[in-house]
Structure 1
């Protein structure tokens, strides 16, 4: 069967249309600090062009990103001296110079706004996102926690229908710990977006941070035979450091022992124990315990005193000589016989 040219062209147009629909700017949100754009479909090789503009001044800034596939992409704006007024952000998905999808959003900056909730603190670091929110009247929100590497979101956690109450002095703690392992020395961004369910009021906060290993010494013990230290991880960068125990007396270093710690993440704790070469002689010693990080830097230190005492002498019990033991037994036997005789005499007199 031979296909007609119009039929083949129709099939080609359907294929092109389907391909275009498969690559889509699905969602966009922006304020004057940042913008998030969600792209669906096979967007590898596409460009994402995001424009920020205002009704007064027109185009303000443009960001162009090269995409490696679908996902959520974060654009940071740098707007100084922003004026009150209406603004807009538009995201265009471009393949081979042709715009295949576009989505825009408008927002207003400045003026008096009836805020349903307020944010006391929002800050990201290598542990997670700290978020303290309060509302005088009960509000219900959706919260999007986003970890960003480069320009792409590598982790998004959504909490739906979260009730918010409290006050400035006692806000709701809605902090979140990252689930991903972070790379030591790598720069990331943390972003949180809060959407009020009733009227869609939205607020977003973002900051950059450098991931680094972190831990702390939480407990120590030391005596004449050795020492120990408990270490707790404080980062999503795996801690692979060590503990160094330095023993001094009168300023002179007597012993130095370094032991690797188990690998620790935020909230994990382990105890490392070491022993001296024998029991310390009586005297006063100084102990310095250093926690050394992945890069060899000292990130925590603990100092203490060891007061080694003279060990008490064991108690001794004198054992009587064999002759003395025999005489003692004879004296006891005689006493028992004498007591028995006296009792017999007393009993007879009473009967008589």
Structure 2
């Protein structure tokens, strides 16, 4: 009977799914722990969880070859920072392994507070093996607006994609697409950043793809980019009285640029080049990706008859010209038309004879009548 029971226990243990991350707790029941690990030969991520606020924690990670007596290939230590209670916090890091060899690797992570180990975990993976995943990552392009990844299927599959915006070791923005699918052709998957970026600063875009079948597995890819302010002119309007331009933001760096409208009069053939008329500069309201605003300017005077060239420049945060547009204004207004005061409405206010009587007669008659009534009233009393 005991033998049968032992066989049953062994069977149940073998039926449990294998976990890629073996997380163990040190010194009994602590409030903070490493909840999840992932690593490949290029990058890794560590997710912490704590039931209470934490401060001044540090993370120690190493990449070893278990088949070579745990030879350490790479190691680093950095601050895990502080985080509030009941929160999952992810930190990302990058390996610098030159001439990586095929085979098995293990990532080991330890969470420390003033040198005391609070939690430790490890993650095993194989580099340059024939992948059992049902897809491959073909390309990854992050920029100041968002991130795009191209996946190609090995066979039809469902998976989740995590998109991460990384600053140093910190994941400053993360979003997720669940139950994405691939069938027979490559597809592009995209996400927009939901965080503000700093102009001219370098960030890292990262995707982590989680596939569930035939077994639980991950694939990740990272790429650096420099955030830039960016916008474009989508529409312009112009006539004899002024001009306008609509500007569309296309970056999570706040766009605080300027529109410059420059007007030139085109000379007749053989009379020389265009002659500068005037210029107007207007600040563009602050824009983020997919925000748009229309900026208007008015000419100092209505344009007289002729052909004019209008040049519109969109100036970025750093004073660089992001876009330049040119168009033509054709005016048929002669100087005499512009100086006219308008048609006579018949409402004269000058006291001149309008053909209906003597000028000022009705006013004089009214005054005489007033005094006659006043004298009569005084006599009766």
Same fold, TM exceeding 0.5? Answer: yes
Count of aligned positions: 295
CA distance in 2, matches of 1:67, 1:98: 14
How many angstroms does 1:190 deviate by? 1.3
Aligned residue number for residue 44 of structure 1? 55
Aligned residue number for residue 241 of structure 2? 225
Among 306, 310, 313, which residue is 1:287 paired with?
310
How many angstroms does 1:194 deviate by? 0.1
Post-superposition Cα deviations, 1:230-282, rounded to whole Å, max 9, x if no partner, equal 11100011112110001123343211101111221111122112121122122
CA distance in 1, matches of 2:178, 2:306: 63
Structure 2, gaps ≥5 residues long: 1-26, 84-88, 266-272, 338-381
Alignment of 1:55-66 (within 5 A): 55=66, 58-66=71-79
Query: TM-score of the superposition, structure 1-length normalised?
Result: 0.78
How many angstroms does 1:17 deviate by? 4.2
Post-superposition Cα deviations, 1:129-188, rounded to whole Å, max 9, x if no partner, equal 1122232532111111111122111222223222222413xx2x3200011122223322
Aligned residue number for residue 253 of structure 2? 237
Aligned residue number for residue 342 of structure 1? none
CA distance in 2, matches of 1:107, 1:86: 6
Structure 1, gaps ≥5 residues long: 1-15, 314-352
1:33 aligns with 2:56: no
Among 171, 174, 189, which residue is 2:204 paired with?
189
Alignment of 1:97-246 (within 5 A): 97-135=115-153, 137-168=155-186, 171=187, 173-198=188-213, 199-246=215-262
CA distance in 2, matches of 1:95, 1:120: 40
1:243–1:166 distance in 2 versus 1, CA, 3 Å: farther
Aligned residue number for residue 33 of structure 2? 24
Query: TM-score of the superposition, structure 2-length normalised?
Result: 0.72
CA distance in 2, matches of 1:87, 1:283: 76
CA distance in 2, matches of 1:43, 1:104: 22
Root-mean-square deviation (CA), in Å? 2.2
CA distance in 1, matches of 2:98, 2:34: 28
How many angstroms does 1:203 deviate by? 0.8
Contact 2:137–2:151 (8 Å) recurs in 1: yes
CA distance in 1, matches of 2:251, 2:166: 17
Contact 1:216–1:231 (8 Å) recurs in 2: yes
CA distance in 1, matches of 2:36, 2:160: 16
